Chain A
Amino acid sequence: MNTEKSSEKSTYPTKPLTRFITDDDNCWQLQEYQDLGGYDGLKHALTLSRAAVLDEIKASNLRGRGGAGFPTGLKWSFVPQGDDAPHPKYLIVNADEMEPGAFKDRLLLEKTPHQIIEGLLIGGYTLDADIGYIFIRGDYYSAIQHIEIALQECYDNKLLGKDILGSGFNFEIHIHTSAGRYICGEETALINALEGKRAIPRAKPPFPQVAGLWGKPTIVNNVETFCNLPHILNFGADWFKSLGRFKDAGTKIFGVSGRVKNPGLWELPMGTPIGEIIEHYAGGMSDGYKLKGYLPGGGSTDFLLAKHFDTPMDYDEIGKQRSRMGTGTIIVLDDKYCPVAMVLNLVKFFAQESCGWCTPCRDGLPWAAVLLEKIEQGKGELADIKQLEDLCKFAAPGNTFCALAPGAVEPLQSALNYFRDDFEQHITQKSCPYCVQSCEQSHLEEDHDK
């Protein structure tokens, strides 16, 4: 992990998100964090007007890091402001990281709890919010512990509660551990879960910015989004924009998993070409394996191929290649793993995680899983491929209540496009070409061995 120990404000960091992270297992306590320049962003924000902070965030072109890449400043500008605005207003950190292949938030949660709290406080000040929630995946046990300690430190040092740092700004933060459903990552389902209801996405309108948690204005943003705020306030929007290598501003934590030499996470400028991440940072494919394809942004994004290596990891650029940036955590598929089995594994996961609210997701995904299983077991027919294509169209964006099912069929629809031969081979050969017996099982065992 590349670390930048700089307490000097004048030295502009190039890797702001991880500048507080050391290679050892250390997680900075409040004092150390402050010594390194932590909470400077908040202190600066508190000297500005709320509108000025929001302008700075807008000017930074920060886009939501949860996957959709919606401009954060724009999202926040929908929250009602002024004396007539309803209160309490809520800010929620979406730390329910459950996307297959994604583990970038975990790093920030475990290592930089104060950075998240600082981001949340800046957001709270900007939006005149009253209460913040950190909605965290229940399995992130040590992260939860670190955040709890950090929160207590903040309360003890007037960084939370009433009259924060003497500014007159009041803010409370609660941590909520999720009971564990992928759908809770959808912001309105998260809100329902936080209210103690079934985690089912809500109808929009109204958008949470206007009527969210308990009917009040609410902003939900990803961990990484919040972590950018202290640095934007500290070093300015222009600096932030200058970090990106292509159009998008700032840095992002990118990750690679799969059979590469050096799987892991790196904070890199937005717009870093995909090939550079895989070849340079992840060290390329392990010996004896070739790259067949990869999911650029986690389990719910379309496959891309080696020919797309030059594409910068920028929201719109990836979009042009008909995939999505998603969480920026790349899952690599090698030439010895069956793509049908991989897609089956993913579709099964998403079918399992469907909340059961709308038909295309609830009944369409299990249907696709049944067909994929049939093909993988060598019992498929060529007509099944047509059915799978129909199901991908069926669960297309706009057809479903939320983005879960459209995301779930993305690896499937792109696999049908790029690896159609593999599907057809399964069917004509009446078995999985990648292994003779029970293919999925052996792959699973293999994974365990690694």
Chain B
Amino acid sequence: MTNKVTIFIEDLPYQVADDINLLQACLSLKLDIPYFCWHPAMGSVGACRQCAVMQYQDEEDTRGRLVMSCMTPVAEGMRISFSHEKAETFRATNIEAMMTNHPHDCPVCEEGGDCHLQDMTLLTGHITRRYPGTKRTHNNQYLGPFLNHEMNRCIGCYRCVRFYRDYCGGNDLNVFSSKNNIFFGRAEPGNLENEFSGNLAEVCPTGVFTDKPFSQHYIRKWDLQSAPSICTHCSVGCNTYVTERGGIIRKINNRYNAAINGHFLCDRGRFAYQHVNHDNKLTQIWSRAQQSQTTHIFDNEQAHSQLSQWLNETDAQVLGIGSARSSLENNAALHKLVGGNNFYAGIANNELKQLQLLTKTYESKQVALVSLSQIEQSDAVLLVGEDVTQTAPRLALSIRQMTKNAGIAQAAKLGIKPWQDEAVRNISQDSKSPLIIINTDETKLADVAKYNLKLAPNKQLELLIEIEAYLTSKYALTPSAETFSDLAIAIAEELLAANNPVVVTGTHSFDIALLSACLRLSILLRKHKNNSGFYCATSSINALGLSLLAQPDHDIDNLIHSIKSTPPTLLIIMETDLYRYCANEKLSKYLDNIKHIVVIEQIMNDTVKMADLVLPAASFAEQHSSWLNNEGRLQRAYAVMPASDMRQTPVQWLAQHNALDDGQNLYRYMQTITPLLQPIMQIVTTDKSDFPVARQPMRSSARTAFFANIDVKEYAPKRDKKSNLTFTMEGVAGFRQQTLDNSQHKITTPVTGVWSPKWNSNQALNKDLKQSSFQDEADSSLGADLGLKIFDQLNSQEFTVPAAQIDSPSQQLNNLSICPQHHIYSNDELADYSSSIQQLRPEPVISLNQQQANHLSLKSGEKLTISSDDYNISLPCFISKTLADQVVLVPFTEFLRLGTNMHIATKYSAGNANGDAND
């Protein structure tokens, strides 16, 4: 546990936490100690030597000795001097030595103004160059669509390889050569394979790795406006800073949240924003003239009168489709308009079922929902039925960190602290906390897993039920006579041996039996292990939130069923591309039968093309919104820019018609739909403060005249009526808020960026991080607002998770299961519009193992056809060496469209009755 100790800096006493290093302690005291290689998440290695200070034995000691503060644990009574001449000279020479090879290219470097090296150079006082030699040069590499590489700028801090290899488990970036010729890159140019590569742009203290999409619309940091936001590309809900200039999102930066993403985002989260800038984004109101093929642009008034007319038709029957990628506010507004009975969640039936099972279990409080940071601190994880490296990558990164805890514990026995990174690794070597993966195919966590079980879904289920039975029997008064497989016993004992084991699963298998088995196992485990936790990744950022609003069985499958039999007069589709869920021809036929279709959408897609009225919706970056992530954490995101052109939020589009303004009434209405959303008022009302807060940093230099080619006048900035953030630099500078004591000044508005005096790069954050190396969720006064966990605030409800049937409802065809194959760059709908992500999308294939291929007489690359009632796909097959037997993987998006009733047609027997396929 963290205690305080007193240390003396320049003979003045300071209180600091006792489990951190001297560097971190000094930074938390707001002292400007320069450093490069240390990183709060990656610990200390003592490579750069920049953080040197003088340490003295006692008061008598006048000589002292130079120590690296990052490598020195704090201790009671420790005496140090930062400003001693010897330390100052050493630090100045050190940075001068680093700069011997660093080019003087700041004016053309994208890191300029956002560069830790610039800050540290100024801080250290190295101004005049004495080195007379030439600089060494390197060839740069192509590293894929996300990152630029400029090795000449490298100062050799080793952070990139430590992050990429040691922290993320990547192996295609390394350090090559030696002496001052060290080269950080790949063996050969090519795409960086790790899904966290984008963080290198933030991890690198200078401009070696820079954000490549950013460089395509580059703007200096001081010209950007920035607002706190939530990543909307998976269900984890990572915190981001979205930055903007001139209506274009420029880049996404990590926003530190101790409970969720910490310091790192995944590449999908970082680079998927380009749909907001996309050419095909909707900015106008389009109306299709009745009985004609022509479309017109409407103005606001026309649109509303049209909508009003359709809503108020006699015998009007209005159905609405809510969206898992739209905010709680937007869904609630639609819910109010159409009524709960007519509100359908824009997700598949089996997913909604899974989500509502989760909600009921969470309400019963029989499982403890853990955050990513709690997973990182746990000591065993059972990961079932979900390739989280593809569906919720940031979660996978946390699980990877969990495996390091055995080594950290081992090091602790030798008195080595967790932050002594290199020492911990040398001691722990291959010892890892157990990660048990049960999945259909090998995942990218395989390298750190103790068990890598590749099983067909029904086998997975059998194993879980067996583990459950073993646990029941073990703790029963009279143990059952049943015998259990060694594997089941081993896994169960692995979980029981841990202090806080976590069961992690996801809804992406669409297998409700598997999910309930996971829940039951987790409930049982918690009875014996009080600290055990549960985490379930869901499909979209707001999937869980949407499921709270929808009535059971109000999902896309049922909606289609319903419109097939009785078409409504008006269908309002909000931010859902129905064609993702349903076969084209069938869906188009049903939609044709509907009199009026209104689509509220951000971007052109097939569903929009079917609309009679298109209302352009504001993107996540243009609205203040609330999101409920998969652990039931309510989080608030802020608009970074005003909505462009005719775009409005769905809340605004519907406000005239549902008698809700988008103020308090909307939130009150939300509370009436489900008591689970009671706490929403807390995150909405904390918005208010007495200060307006600027999205732009203070103008301490000449700002680029953005439209100077058109007009040198500056236009009046738009006003943000919905929050206290301003679209200017007026108000309390959001960036500078962190230098104030928030509690004293009653500033509750979120910080719009990271800044500290003299620290202009994102490293400024490290001057505001809390002192303890273990972030305590309850103690969250600084920096990021951690959000509100809604299930924590409840009284528990009675609920029993139904026992899973062995006969799994997944797609079994003569013991063959068709399962979805997930990929980080092809799973998410909006991420698909991002050109950098498109470049990394895999070719769609159907995967199966050699045995299945033999069984179906298939060779690698030959086409395999899979059909459902009204949809079929025909894709080349890929013979996987790692895939479980009796499993066929189809791309996730195709899997969605195939629906439930799938069958395989072999190349020889397509269309014919076949014993293997058409049962």
Q: Report B180-206 residues with CB < 8 Å from chain A CB.
A: 180-182
Is B728 on the interface with A (CB-CB < 8 A)?
A: no
Chain B residues with CB under 8 A of A205: 414-416, 423
Q: Are B66 and A399 neighbours in the complex by a CB distance under 8 Å?
A: yes
B373 within 8 A of A: no
List which A202-248 residues lie within 8 A (CB) of chain B: 202-206, 210-211, 214-215
The answer to whether A363 and B98 touch (CB under 8 A), given A210-B414, A358-B48, A399-B52, is: yes
- Check: A279 CB closer than 8 A to any chain B CB: no
Contact indicator B47/A357 (Cβ below 8 Å) = yes
Q: Which residues of B contact A360 (CB under 8 A)?
A: 49, 93-94, 97
Residues of A within 8 A of B410 (CB): 215
CA distance A211 to B181 in the complex (A): 31
State in angstroms the CA–CA spacing of A356 and B132 once bound together. 21
A377 to nearest B CB, angstroms?
12
Q: Are B427 and A363 in contact (CB under 8 A)?
A: no
Closest Cβ of chain A to B801, distance in Å, is 43
Is A387 in contact with chain B by the CB < 8 A criterion?
Answer: yes
B45 cross-chain contacts in A, Cβ below 8 A: 203
Q: In whole angstroms, how far apart are the Cα atoms of A394 and B89 in the complex?
A: 8
Q: How far is the CB of B824 from chain A (nearest CB, A)?
A: 30
The answer, among A215, A353, A384, for a CB contact under 8 Å with B426, is A215
Taking CB atoms, residues of chain A closer than 8 Å to B158 are 357
Q: Does B65 contact A (CB under 8 A)?
A: yes
Contact (Cβ within 8 A) B428 A359: no
Q: By the criterion CB–CB under 8 Å, are B429 and A203 in contact? A: no
Q: Is B746 an interface position by the 8 A CB rule?
A: no
Judge if B422 is at the interface, Cβ distance under 8 Å.
yes
- B98 and A359 contact, CB distance less than 8 A: yes
Check if A367 sits within 8 Å of B415, measured CB to CB.
no
Whole-angstrom distance from the CB of A357 to the nearest CB of chain B? 5
Given contacts A360-B97, A362-B156, A203 and B90 within 8 Å (CB-CB):
no
- Does B131 make an interface contact (CB < 8 A)? yes
* A351 interfacial by beta-carbon distance below 8 Å: yes
Tell me if A421 is interfacial: C-beta within 8 Å of chain B: no
- Contacts A215-B428, A358-B48, A366-B180 hold; do A390 and B93 have CB atoms under 8 A apart? yes
Contact flags B426-467 to A (C-beta < 8 A → 1, else 0): 111101000000000000000000000000000000000000
Whether B423 lies near A394 (C-beta < 8 A) is no
Contacts of A274 in B (CB 8 A): none
Determine if A76 is an interface residue (Cβ-Cβ < 8 Å): no
Whether A366 and B93, one on each chain, are in contact in the complex, defined by CB atoms closer than 8 angstroms, is no
Q: Which residues of B contact A214 (CB under 8 A)?
A: 429
With A359-B97, A398-B66, A399-B49: A206-B423 Cβ-Cβ less than 8 Å: yes
> Which residues 391-435 of B sit at the A interface, judged by CB distance below 8 A?
410-411, 414-416, 420, 422-423, 426-429, 431
Q: Most chain-B Cβ atoms within 10 A of its Cβ — which of A215, A394, A398?
A: A215
A366-391 with Cβ < 8 A to chain B: 366-367, 370-371, 374, 383-384, 387, 390-391
The contact of B156 among A215, A353, A356, by CB within 8 Å, is: A356
Is B179's CB under 8 angstroms from A354's CB?
A: yes
Complex Cα–Cα for A6 and B246 (A):
92
Q: Are B131 and A362 in contact (CB under 8 A)?
A: no
**Max chain B Cβ within 10 angstroms of own Cβ: one of A203, A205, A399:** A203
Question: Does B257 have its Cβ within 8 Å of any Cβ on chain A?
Answer: no
Q: Name B97's contact: one of A215, A356, A364, A383 (CB within 8 Å).
A: A364
> Which residue among B49, B132, B416, B426 has the maximum number of chain A CB atoms within 10 Å of its CB?
B426
Q: Would A203 and B420 be within 8 Å (CB), given that A214-B429, A356-B182 are in contact?
A: yes
Q: How far is the CA of A203 from the CA of B38 in the complex (A)?
A: 14
Smallest Cβ-Cβ distance to B423: which chain A residue: A203
- Check if A215 sits within 8 Å of B429, measured CB to CB: yes
Chain B, range 22-61, C-beta contacts under 8 Å to A: 45-50, 52
Say whether, besides A360-B97, A362-B179, A367-B100, A206 and B49 are in contact (CB < 8 Å).
Answer: no
* Cβ–Cβ contact A356 & B180, under 8 A: yes
Contact A356 B93 (CB under 8 A): no
B175 at the interface (CB under 8 A from A): yes
Q: A394-B90, A398-B65 are in contact. Are A359 and B175 (CB under 8 A)?
A: no
Interface status of B911 (Cβ within 8 A of chain A): no
A400 to B89, CA, bound (A): 15
Is A355 in contact with chain B by the CB < 8 A criterion? yes
Q: How far is the CA of A357 from the CA of B156 in the complex (A)?
A: 8
Number of A residues near B (Cβ < 8 Å) is: 41
- Once bound together, how far apart are the Cα atoms of A215 and B423, in whole Å? 9
Q: Does A3 lie at the interface of the complex (its beta carbon under 8 Å from any beta carbon of B)?
A: no
Selected from A210, A363, A374, A398, the residue in CB contact (under 8 A) with B101 is: A363
Cβ–Cβ contact B94 & A394, under 8 A: yes
Q: Tell me the complex Cα distance, A358–B905, Å.
A: 62
- Is B3 engaged at the interface, CB distance under 8 Å to the other chain? no
CA distance A202 to B47 in the complex (A): 10
Whether B180 and A362, one on each chain, are in contact in the complex, defined by CB atoms closer than 8 angstroms, is yes
Q: Inside 8 A of A322's CB, which chain B residues have their CB?
A: none
Question: Could you tell me if B49 and A203 are in contact, using CB atoms closer than 8 angstroms?
Answer: no
Residues of chain B within 8 A (CB-CB) of A384 are 132
| A370 adjacent to B48 (CB under 8 Å) | no
Q: Is B292 engaged at the interface, CB distance under 8 Å to the other chain?
A: no
Nearest-neighbour CB distance to chain A for B99, whole angstroms, equals 9
Per-residue contact bits, chain B 120-163, to A (CB 8 Å; 1 contact, 0 not) = 00000000001111000000000000000000000110100000
Most chain B beta-carbon neighbours within 10 Å: one of A205, A353, A359: A359
User: Cβ of B179 and Cβ of A394 under 8 Å apart?
Assistant: no
Are A363 and B416 also in contact (CB < 8 A) when A351-B180, A371-B132 are? no
Chain B residues, Cβ within 8 Å of A204: 423
In the assembled complex, how far is the CB of residue A396 from the closest CB belonging to chain B, in whole angstroms?
Answer: 8
Are A353 and B179 touching (Cβ within 8 A)? yes
Min C-beta distance of A76 to chain B, whole Å: 18
B interface footprint on A399-422 (CB within 8 Å = 1, 0 otherwise): 111000000000000000000000
In the complex formed, the residue of A with least CB distance to B429 is A215
Q: Kindly report which residue of chain B lies nearest to residue A394, judged by CB atoms.
A: B93
- In the bound complex, do residue B46 and residue A401 qualify as a contact, i.e. CB atoms below 8 Å apart? yes
Contacts of B52 in A (CB 8 A): 399
Q: Are A401 and B47 in contact (CB under 8 A)?
A: yes
B97 touches A394 (CB 8 A): yes
Task: Determine if B178 is an interface residue (Cβ-Cβ < 8 Å).
Answer: yes
Nearest-neighbour CB distance to chain B for A190, whole angstroms, equals 13
Contact B98 A203 (CB under 8 A): no
B46 touches A203 (CB 8 A): yes
* In the complex, A426 has a CB within 8 A of chain B: no
Is A181's beta carbon under 8 Å from chain B? Answer: yes
Known: A198-B175, A394-B94, A399-B66. A206 touches B416 (CB 8 A): yes
A352 at the interface (CB under 8 A from B): yes
Chain A residues, Cβ within 8 Å of B700: none
When the two chains form their complex, are residues A211 and B414 in contact, meaning their CB atoms are under 8 A apart?
Answer: yes
B71 contacts chain A at the CB level, 8 A cutoff: yes
- Does chain A have a CB within 8 A of B177? yes
Q: Mark B805-834, 1 if CB is under 8 A from A, else 0.
A: 000000000000000000000000000000
Partner of B133, one of A206, A210, A367: A367
List which A95-127 residues lie within 8 A (CB) of chain B.
Answer: none
Which of chain A's residues have a CB closer than 8 A to the CB of B179? 351-356, 362, 365-366
Contact A363 B426 (CB under 8 A): no
Report how far A390 CA is from B93 CA in the complex, Å.
Answer: 8
Option from B49, B90, B178, B428 in Cβ contact (under 8 Å) with A355: B178
Sample of 15 more A-B contacts, CB < 8 Å, known A362-B180, A364-B97, A367-B133: A198-B175, A214-B429, A215-B428, A351-B179, A356-B156, A356-B181, A358-B46, A360-B93, A366-B179, A366-B180, A367-B131, A370-B132, A370-B133, A383-B130, A393-B93
A selection of 16 A-B contacts at a CB cut-off of 8 Å is A204-B423, A215-B410, A215-B431, A353-B179, A359-B47, A359-B50, A359-B98, A359-B155, A362-B156, A362-B182, A363-B97, A363-B101, A363-B156, A364-B97, A366-B179, A394-B94
List of 8 A-B pairs having minimum Cβ-Cβ separation, nearest first: A370-B133, A363-B97, A356-B182, A215-B429, A354-B179, A394-B93, A211-B427, A356-B178
Residues of A within 8 A of B (CB): 181, 198, 202-206, 210-211, 214-215, 351-360, 362-367, 370-371, 374, 383-384, 387, 390-391, 393-394, 398-401
